[in-house]
Amino acid sequence: MLIRRYGPHMRAYAARILGHGDGEADDAVQEAALQAWQRIDRVDDPDRVRNWLFRIAANKALDRLRRRHPHLDLEAVAESSDDRPVDEVVATRLQVQELARIVQALPDAPRAVWVMREIGGASYAEIAEATGMSQATVRGVLARARRRVLEQMEGWR
């Protein structure tokens, strides 16, 4: 019942974390559903079930993102329907891959907070509830994560 209700939203959230395409979001949600089923007895407050499910889905998506080894397919870039010059498309893809590498290198808590806010669009209150941190802590963790990402991306400016 819970997965039927929240599954499509969990899938959209996982897809935002993973990028769209190859069904990895579906796999992440399926893994999250299995874990939720195994641990449902640990949920004390029914009002927190949604955030708990989304946190599990985000963690499963982040696990998949961490395991992913991106590589650039130049032939696919050349055949792309993008109207930009190939070198510009390649540069953009390299930047995205570098950003993914940098985000993956963040410690678990900052990475989760960064992904929930920057990719998932979650509010500070939602992140605080999902992670068990205070909103002030979420803001501090996010600020440090953003600073670290920006420092690492400095060479791309």
Residue 50: which CATH number?
A: 1.10.1740.10
Residue 28 lies in a domain: yes
pTM of the model: 0.52
Average pLDDT over residues 48-66: 80
- Give me the pLDDT at residue 86, please: 59
Residue 130 lies in a domain: no
Please determine, for residue 71, whether its predicted confidence score (pLDDT) is greater than 50: no
Please determine, for residue 21, whether its predicted confidence score (pLDDT) is greater than 50: yes
Phi-psi region of 23 (alpha: psi -120 to 50; beta: other; left: phi over 0): left
Instruction: Give the Cα separation of 66 and 90 in Å (integer).
Output: 22
Residue 157 lies in a domain: no
- Give me the pLDDT at residue 10, please: 86
- Give me the pLDDT at residue 30, please: 92
pLDDT band at 73 (very low <50, low <70, confident <90, very high): very low
Average pLDDT over residues 80-95: 63
Residues spanned by the domain of 22: 1-68
Residue 30 lies in a domain: yes
- Give me the pLDDT at residue 69, please: 46
Average pLDDT over residues 103-130: 86
Residue 47 lies in a domain: yes
Please determine, for residue 156, whether its predicted confidence score (pLDDT) is greater than 70: no
Please determine, for residue 70, whether its predicted confidence score (pLDDT) is greater than 60: no
Number of separate domains in the chain = 1
